[in-house]
Amino acid sequence: MIPMRLSSCSFISNSPIILRPPRTTATRTLNLPLDRRRHISAYGYTQAKALVYPKHGSPADVLNLHTHSLSPPHSNLVTLRTLAAPLNPADINQIQGTYPTAPPFSQELGTAQPSAVPGNEACFQVLAAGSACKTVSKGDWVIPTRTGLGTWRTHLQVTEDRLMKINKYGLDAEQAATISVNPVTAYRMLKDFTPLKEGDWFIQNGANSGVGRAAVQFGKMWGLKSICVVRKREGAEGEALHKELQELGATVVVNDEEIMDKGFGERVKEWTNGAREPLNLALNCVGGDAGMALAKTLGAGGTMVTYGAMSKSPLRVGAGMLIFKDLRFTGFWVSKWADRFPEEKKKTIDEVLGLIRDGKLRDVPMVEVPWSYETKKEELLDAVQGTLDGFRKGKGVFKFSDT
């Protein structure tokens, strides 16, 4: 999903949250019993809870916590228990009604009004599968094949074709739940838009985001050099962030004020050995003047890929960039790409998960938001509000237990 309106730095919530630092290796596999009885009735019905909204609007105004039951699965239906589900800015955009796609409104869950369930990414554990299911079975871990599934809920039941089985060995549920958007976006943008060889450069803003951190690490693995732009932070906080990104593999880290300086182009020329080392790719998630500042650094024939618009400002492309520098301006939406190329998506996810298992790709910092059967609506809405407000210490992730 493409965050269009919200920032992704740090948040403070009244909910009980656990700040989880990024792991350098993935050594734990989440083994949760499948025979819990608190959510299974005497007739085999699964008791579930979901955040739902009957209309678009501010999350605090429209979200409700709805309790319902799921019948035992038959045919190609699969009953799932959610293990982890991130809170992405694009999820909030969908609730607000400002995102290009949104989950459908229906009364399938027995709500008083047609309602939708927010959330697009998650990792699920299969509780039971219908007799016609061929690719998944009890105990498997799965992720959605497409966005719009509605993942902010304890349990759900869907058809088998909406699920992708993953090898859970060596993974945390949070890692699996956050794999299909940010890392895949970074991977495809570096691979698909302009040929890059070892020693080439790329430049990106939003370098502290999930996409940005993944791009830095992929670039290092593939021998690429990077100029990484982050929002200015004062004092020790800014120094720590610059150091962290450099440790991940960034060649140069600058803030968003530096890139707007008139002399920034000369600094880029110095870093790139007098422009003899190609800088032909820019990754833009901000837009506006900040996005155009990236484009100005590109060499002739370079490409800028826009995958977000955090500033909510348009890109004003000068004719000279098109005529004399022959720059290309294009966009990337991972959801649309995945719908067009489902097999390629699976291959990319499998490769990225392998890098995580091998300790070559580090997680983005995460803020775990516990969700149990007893969790109150207010606690969940606090976490959602934190995503809406921005300024959090890491990506918010619902962590489900005792559901």
CA 321 to chain centre: 31
DSSP 56: S
> Taking Cα atoms as reference points, which of 329, 332, 327, 326 lies closest to residue 314?
329
In the chain the first and final C-alpha atoms are separated, in Å, by 27
Pairing of strands 225-230, 252-255: parallel
- Angle among Cα 186, 187, 191 to the nearest 5 degrees reads 115
User: Is position 53 annotated as part of the catalytic site?
Assistant: no
User: Residues, the chain, total?
Assistant: 403
158 and 129 Cβ atoms separated by less than 8 Å: no
Q: Exactly one of 99, 169, 187, 307 is catalytic; which is it?
A: 99
Report the 10 Å Cβ neighbour count for 314: 11
Can you tell me whether residue 336 is helix, strand or coil? Answer: helix
Distances (CA, A) of 259 to 190, 273, 296: 21, 18, 10
Cα gap 210→212, rounded to integer Å: 5
Residues 6 or more apart in contact with residue 207 via CB below 8 angstroms: 213, 215, 216, 226, 228, 229, 230, 245, 250, 253
> b/e string for 52-70 if b means 16 or more Cβ within 10 A?
bbbebeebeebbebbebeb
What is the token pair recorded at 306? 């826009």
Pairing of strands 303-306, 279-284: parallel
Active site (catalytic) residues: 99
